[in-house]
A and B are shown apart, each in its own frame.
Chain A
Amino acid sequence: MDLTLKIWRQKDANAKGKLVDYKVTDISEHMSFLEMMDVLNEQLVNTGEEPVSFDHDCREGICGMCSMYINGEAHGPDKGNTTCQLHMRSFKDGDTIHIEPFRAAAFPVIRDLVVDRSAFDRIQQAGGYISVNTSGNTQDANSIPIGKAAADDAMDAATCIGCGACVATCKNSSAMLFVGAKVSQYALLPQGQVEAADRVMDMVAQMDAEGFGNCTNTGACEVECPKGISLENIARMNREYLKASSKG
């Protein structure tokens, strides 16, 4: 298939940036979206132009590195997948495809489609851990029984890959699905109880300091999340926050 691509080009963080049109031809429907981008870049290198920068790494939907806002949706039109798992069979011959970076004030553009998501790291550093020494001198793993339901829910929350699609999709650029998932994982496990109150207060404070917007419950994040993280996690974070606040 032949396609027209409208791609955001921006030299560096301070440059202005604009959408630029490119044509690619003979794209196979079996290609992944990123392989189509590889074809474009090979074409650009051969004609002496600078290739399009984009983040990607594992190309199997787990590392969370790839981003891209494709035709107005984070990770493109398909649901439950990352950009690297999107295939060209989701498009048709003659289509025009808009490709933009994830947008949020807290995710500044580094170059072209590459954005800086280190705000997520800083939120985790604020309390996204259990303070246990890595000496291995802990109690035996089976001495902490955890009900299957809680363990499964914690696992569901923990599958977040930190890609930032929730923020990119949210009209408020809110990071509450990301933070809610991490808070939930630990809130559901007995190991996480000791520091639960401090954790949620500190992580929310850092989230606010990073300049993310507020959640207005549109639910767009849940729909676009490649891992299907549920809004229930945001509700749980709200509860945890209220509980922690009431303790003072």
Chain B
Amino acid sequence: MSGILSSSIAKKVSMALSAFFLMFFLLQHFAINILSVFSGNLFNQVSHFMGTNPLIQYVLQPVLIFGVVFHFVMGFILEIKNRKAQGKKYAKNNGAANSTWMSRNMILSGIVILLFVLLHFIDFWFPEINTKFIQGDWSGMHDGEFRYFQELQHKFLSPLRVGVYCLAFVFLSLHLLHGFNSAFQSVGANNKYIKGLRSFGKLYSILIPAGFIFIAIFHHFNH
């Protein structure tokens, strides 16, 4: 593994593969969350399934954690290496003349997303782990009914948290706006047939984070 990953191209391909995985995860996360807008009940049932299914909990969840950590760690490794490759900085550099702000600041948007993930873990994931794996409560119940929807609504009461979430999603969108197509380019998919994918990538990068923002704001005002 380390041998393959020692080359520059292998590193970027691994970044792309982990990105594909994360983008797929993001899509399914969104699909479940958006249910909460239409039906608390449905959201509860799906959440309970996801939260208690052994395949998901014992297989997919560790894979996901690995994917997230890998993507971040590799991102930082590449950033450090690339900074070293730069040598002396230009006194004057006009990056805007040839590339987008998003493409030049993936590390910045990435760090914001990383901080957000930490917050998100503190908000939801750590309590979940605590409830299920430490206290051993796999019922998903609280006060006689499913707790998921309640917890969700509860979290979005604070305007500060909603604000932070919205801001983080903006950065997620910026990250995706470069990352989506960049991942395809990295695995070698760039020719005339793939051009159509570009607009799809744009749509995905804007609509998914916008959807998350909508969900957060929706629950802030409807409880």
Contact = CB atoms under 8 A, between A and B. Distances in A.
- Asked if A and B form a direct contact in the complex, defined as CB atoms under 8 angstroms apart, the reply is yes
Interface size class of B (residues with CB under 8 A): 35 or more
A224 B106 CA distance: 21
Interface string B44-55: 000000000000
A83 interface: no
Contacts of B94: 71-73
Residue of A100, A204, A214 with most partner-chain B CB within 10 A: A214
A103 B88 contact: yes
A73 B98 contact: yes
Nearest to B106: A216
B133 interface: no
A79 B194 CA distance: 26
A219 B178 CA distance: 10
B91 A98 contact: yes
A157 B103 CA distance: 24
Describe A's contact surface by its main secondary structure. Answer: mixed
A107 B85 CA distance: 10
Interface in A129-150: none
A217 B185 contact: yes
10 contacts: A19-B91, A104-B87, A106-B85, A171-B99, A212-B8, A213-B82, A218-B98, A238-B186, A241-B9, A245-B4
Interface of A: 6, 8, 19, 69, 71-73, 77, 98, 100, 103-108, 169, 171-174, 176, 204-205, 207-208, 211-220, 223-224, 231-232, 234-242, 245
Interface of B: 4, 6-13, 78, 81-82, 84-95, 97-100, 103-104, 106, 178, 181-182, 185-191
